[in-house]
Structure 1
């Protein structure tokens, strides 16, 4: 039996990122994620913005971010906003993740 998608989520677009973070890198990584989360919360069209954590393996923490956007325009605006913030700071997300030894799997999803 399939569960119907609520109409309020039918057109939504979801950005879901999964990170495997070494325990010693967690404080710096979480500080950065919280900055990103606060920034994305200000972008129109952000319907929900979750930051989830799981500790299954010694020395590693799984972090999942899930952001629900109302439509493609909203997610595009979010991407532009974050690129502008990173440019202002001179922040390179890929270099940051690599420096901390974080493994990342990031993607954009739609309701199936």
Structure 2
């Protein structure tokens, strides 16, 4: 390894040590997937612009026997960044009159599981 490679690896490891990952798992009925993805893309556009958002991935299961058919993984630079983003999105949803639980769970019939994770 070179010094540049060593420095890049150290910076990468340091960034991951402080990162917080929000992992949202969904069971979405097939008939609801188009509406689900349309709304999630709108949400992602807003979230990706927020300070501290490093990565926002929306993944659809393509194989295997897992229970969840859609997973969203958002990497945040810090706990403070995710807390600020959550507050911003809650305000935005309130201003828009959008209730995520009513839409995703009640209207689309999705089942959800959310959590925050760190690298071990």
- TM bracket, shorter-chain basis: 0.7 to 0.9
Alignment partner of 1:93 out of 84, 95, 100: 100
User: Relative to total residues, which structure has the larger strand share, 1 or 2?
Assistant: 1
Alignment partner of 1:15 out of 13, 17, 22: 22
Quick one: distance in 1 between partners of 2:68 and 2:74? 20
Checking the alignment, whether the CA contact within 8 Å between 1:19 and 1:102 is kept in structure 2 is yes
TM-score, normalised to structure 2, is: 0.81
1:103 maps to 2:93: no
Return 5+ residue gaps in structure 2 as ranges: 1-11
* Secondary structure at the counterpart of residue 116 of structure 2: strand
Checking the alignment, whether the CA contact within 8 Å between 1:55 and 1:61 is kept in structure 2 is no
TM-score, normalised to structure 1, is: 0.87
Alignment partner of 1:38 out of 6, 26, 45: 45
Larger Rg: 2
Q: 1:15 to 1:61 in 2, by over 3 A?
A: closer
Checking the alignment, whether the CA contact within 8 Å between 2:54 and 2:75 is kept in structure 1 is yes
Checking the alignment, whether the CA contact within 8 Å between 1:22 and 1:61 is kept in structure 2 is no
Alignment partner of 1:77 out of 74, 84, 94: 84
Equivalenced residues, count:
106
Checking the alignment, whether the CA contact within 8 Å between 1:51 and 1:63 is kept in structure 2 is yes
Return 5+ residue gaps in structure 1 as ranges: none
User: Relative to total residues, which structure has the larger helix share, 1 or 2?
Assistant: 2
How far the C-alpha of 1:81 sits from its partner, in A, is: 1.3
